[in-house]
Amino acid sequence: MGKETTETVNKVNAKLALFKALKEAGYRTELDSSSVPTVICKNADDMENTIKEVKKIVKDLEYNSSFGVRIMRRGDINLVEDDVVAGSEEAVAAEDTDAIDFNNDSEAIQQAV
């Protein structure tokens, strides 16, 4: 395997490790087509604390790639688990909200918090 291939494999393994750690910590987490592990919050009120907790997990894993934290959108209704009834107001939170994407940029992380 070439150096480039090894680096790619290591990045993918790191993203999967973060995804697994976030799931084990009890977060709703997705790994979309862009391969960015993203935590999904029920509502905007949960975001500040969730960001702090996720940053701690990221730091503990020494993860150095992109990750995100966002609130639930209408399209996420299929991600809803037993604790939220499909179609409820909680499940249909802020449709047009953008994710906060952290590219391991300390300045961007500090501004977001």
Please give the model's pTM, rounded to 2 decimal places: 0.64
What share of the chain has pLDDT > 70, as a percent?
66
Predicted local distance difference test score (pLDDT) of residue 50: 95
Q: Sketch the domain layout of the chain as residue ranges.
A: 3-112
Check pLDDT > 80 for residue 113.
no
Greater model confidence, 91 or 11: 11
Q: Residue 6 — very low, low, confident or very high, per pLDDT cuts 50/70/90? A: confident
Q: How far apart are CA 73 and CA 42, in angstroms?
A: 9
Predicted local distance difference test score (pLDDT) of residue 43: 87
Greater model confidence, 54 or 109: 54
Residues across the chain: 113
**CB-CB contact of 21 with 55 (8 Å):** no
Mean pLDDT for the chain? Answer: 75
Predicted local distance difference test score (pLDDT) of residue 110: 47
**In this structure, which amino acid lies at residue 76?**
D
